[in-house]
């Protein structure tokens, strides 16, 4: 087994999701994940503290990209326009591997209460990152919190639709998340 082979992190994620889908989260060990990925257990632990963290591997990066996009939005952008900039920035980082992995990841999460809890915490973290970025722009806290929550909902809805679409299509995630945000904006306006 190669210790320093490129792509080890991605292979570990793919191996874990496949094993979680095949035999369940609880029945899957770190040793099995490392073996399937073609790396050692120590390589696994260099990338992840435990098997739960595999499924939120990109959470910090995603939070950072969302916040950066919001921070870099035009000065006169509304809170939802700033969220759209964050969604566009974060969505651009999601490529074919994310699209391919999504259905298996969804199945693995649906089959495990622990993973469902971890997924919910991920949503809270993403909303907090967007809210903080909006507050840093001077958006009042309640407005920033609502816009952050709408951003998470738009990301999740857009990601689900994109990942369920044609795997060979060249369309990017951004168009799905931005369309979902537009739908949510229209829906919230109708709440009157």
DSSP symbols for 119-156 = HHHHHHHHHHHHHHHHHHTT--HHHHHHHHHHHHHHHH
CB atoms within 10 A of CB 3: 10
Q: At what angle do helices 141-164 and 79-91 cross, to 10 degrees?
A: 40
Sign of the dihedral through C-alpha 24, 30, 31, 33: positive
pLDDT over 90 (residue 146): yes
Q: What is the CA radius of gyration of the chain?
A: 18
Question: In Å, how far from its chain's centre is CA 57?
Answer: 9
pLDDT over 50 (residue 3): no
Query: Which token pair is 172?
Result: 């990017």
Give dist(CA 155, CA 173) in Å, integer: 9
Return the ∠ at Cα 74 (arms to 69 and 79), rounded to 5°.
70
Convert the pLDDT of each residue in 37-66 to its tens digit.
999 999 999 999 988 787 777 778 889 999
pLDDT of residue 169: 67
Give dist(CA 31, CA 34) in Å, integer: 5
Q: Which of 38, 36, 44 is nearest to 18 (CA)?
A: 36
Convert the pLDDT of each residue in 19-43 to its tens digit.
888 888 889 999 999 999 999 999 9
pLDDT of residue 151: 97
CB atoms within 10 A of CB 139: 21
Considering only residues 151 and 9, tell me which one the structure prediction assigns the higher pLDDT: 151
Considering only residues 97 and 153, tell me which one the structure prediction assigns the higher pLDDT: 153
Question: 19: part of which helix (H) or strand (E)?
Answer: helix 8-23
CB-based contact 134:70 (threshold 8 Å):
yes
Mean pLDDT of 150-162: 94
CB atoms within 10 A of CB 46: 14
pLDDT of residue 1: 43
User: pTM here?
Assistant: 0.81
CB-based contact 156:176 (threshold 8 Å):
no
Contacts of 61 (CB under 8 A, 6+ apart): 93
Convert the pLDDT of each residue in 70-119 to its tens digit.
999 999 999 999 999 999 999 988 877 778 778 888 888 888 888 888 88
């Amino acid at each position: 087994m190669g210790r320093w082979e490129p792509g080890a992190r991605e292979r570990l994620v793919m191996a874990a999701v496949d094993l979680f889908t095949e035999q369940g989260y609880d029945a899957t060990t770190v040793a099995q994940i490392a073996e399937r990925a073609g790396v050692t257990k120590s390589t696994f632990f260099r990338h992840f503290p435990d098997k739960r963290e595999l499924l939120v591997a990109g959470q910090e990066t995603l939070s950072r990209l969302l916040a950066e996009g919001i921070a870099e939005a035009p000065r006169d952008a509304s809170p939802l326009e700033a969220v759209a900039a964050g969604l566009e920035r974060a969505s651009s980082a999601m490529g074919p591997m994310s699209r391919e992995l999504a259905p298996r990841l969804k199945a693995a999460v649906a089959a495990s209460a622990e993973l469902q809890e971890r997924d919910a915490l991920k949503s809270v973290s993403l909303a907090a990152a967007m809210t903080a970025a909006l507050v840093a722009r001077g958006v009042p806290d309640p407005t920033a919190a609502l816009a952050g929550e709408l951003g998470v909902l738009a990301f999740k809805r857009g990601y689900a639709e994109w990942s369920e679409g044609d795997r060979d299509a060249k369309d990017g995630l951004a168009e799905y998340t931005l369309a979902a945000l537009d739908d949510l904006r229209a829906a919230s306006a109708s709440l009157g």
